[in-house]
Amino acid sequence: MISKCLFPAAGYGTRFLPATKAMPKEMLPIVNKPLIQYGVEEALEAGCQMMAIVTGRGKRSIEDHFDISYELEHQIKGTDKESYLREIRSLINACSFSYTRQNEMRGLGHAILTGEILIGKEAFAVILADDLCTNLQGKGVLAQMIDLYKKYHCSIVAIEEVPMEEVDKYGIIEGEEIQEGVYRVFNMVEKPLKYESPSNLAVIGRYILTPDIFDILRVTKPGKKGEIQITDALLEQAKSGHVLAYKFQGRRYDCGSIDGFVKATNDFYQLLH
Ligand code: G1P
């Protein structure tokens, strides 16, 4: 039902400099796999086979990663290293990848609007690869959200409770709980100060968006930090229809921060051993 997943991946990753000076932040590995590959695996598990990636200058290694490297395949064929490529090879076979470039950095809303050409007029998923999500108990976060979409047919954002000290790092929602863990959103604020935040329910990097979001984004004025914010467009959508917020099952690592990145690395290492 939702077959496309958009990955905004044009950002500079300044919080990880100098590591991200010549390498996309989406290619930073957690143990032996780049962040964006975890995202693609989550999308595929949720039933999305078409990956739409919004890139920018210096992001070519993302395209190379999701392509076959004939020299490498040839080199390791018949050796015990062949198994290392098995997983990425089957991922490449199971998905299609399309790319478009965002040539100006004007915010997440602008990045999503740039992806319109790859999405068209259908509901789609969005994954921000630096939010790495796991659910050891069952379905992945995006799969949970698509289940909810099948029932409600509207835009959905994934949320989690954060300490009030951290609300200024996120889009924050205010809503009415309509079923356990599901809120109908009536207010949303991008990165509010602690004392003006409507709640501590923070949006994390997983969205299901209905395609009318593109028309809203086209007329959304720059907001916080002078950027076009998806939060503002979603608030507009919530006013004229329905937007849901979903408290997902599982765990999120903020791999855009050093602390979250190290935590994810340690936890994933433990899982592998
Ligand atoms: C973006 C969104 C924000 C959301 C966050 C989730 O912010 O603008 O609303 O809460 O992603 O990771 P960024 O982290 O790009 O500053």
Mean pLDDT per 10-residue run, the chain (273 residues)? 95 89 94 97 97 92 92 87 88 96 93 97 97 95 98 97 97 96 97 96 98 97 95 96 95 96 96 84
Residue 250 falls in which region: left (phi positive, over 0), alpha (psi -120 to 50) or beta: left
Distance from C-alpha of 113 to C-alpha of 272, rounded to nearest angstrom = 38
Cα–Cα distances (Å) from 74 to 70, 101, 125, in that order, read: 6, 31, 36
Read off the pTM. Answer: 0.96
Would you call 47 helix, strand, or coil by DSSP?
A: coil
Return the biggest CA–CA distance within the chain: 62
- Tally of CB atoms within 10 A around 224: 16
CB 245 within 8 A of CB 163: no
Q: φ, ψ for residue 270 (rounded to 5)?
A: -60, -40
Structure tokens at 220: 């959304």
Going from the Cα of 170 to the center of ligand 1, the distance in angstroms, rounded, reads 5
What is the best residue among 141, 166, 169 to mutate for testing ligand 1's pocket, by most ligand atoms within 8 Å of CB?
A: 169
Q: Give 268's contacts (C-beta < 8 A, 6+ positions apart).
A: 30, 31
Domains and CATH numbers, the chain: 4-272 (3.90.550.10)
What is the best residue among 126, 203, 231 to mutate for testing ligand 1's pocket, by most ligand atoms within 8 Å of CB?
A: 203
Report pLDDT for 205.
98
Name the E strands within 191-263.
201-209, 243-247, 251-254
Distance from C-alpha of 41 to C-alpha of 222, rounded to nearest angstrom = 33
What is the best residue among 7, 25, 108 to mutate for testing ligand 1's pocket, by most ligand atoms within 8 Å of CB?
A: 108
Segment holding 55, helix H or strand E: strand 50-55
Q: Whose CA is nearest to atom 9 of ligand 1?
A: 171
Distance from C-alpha of 221 to C-alpha of 217, rounded to nearest angstrom = 8
Length of the chain: 273
Pocket of ligand 1 from Cβ distances under 6 Å: 108, 128, 131, 170-171, 190, 202-205, 229, 231
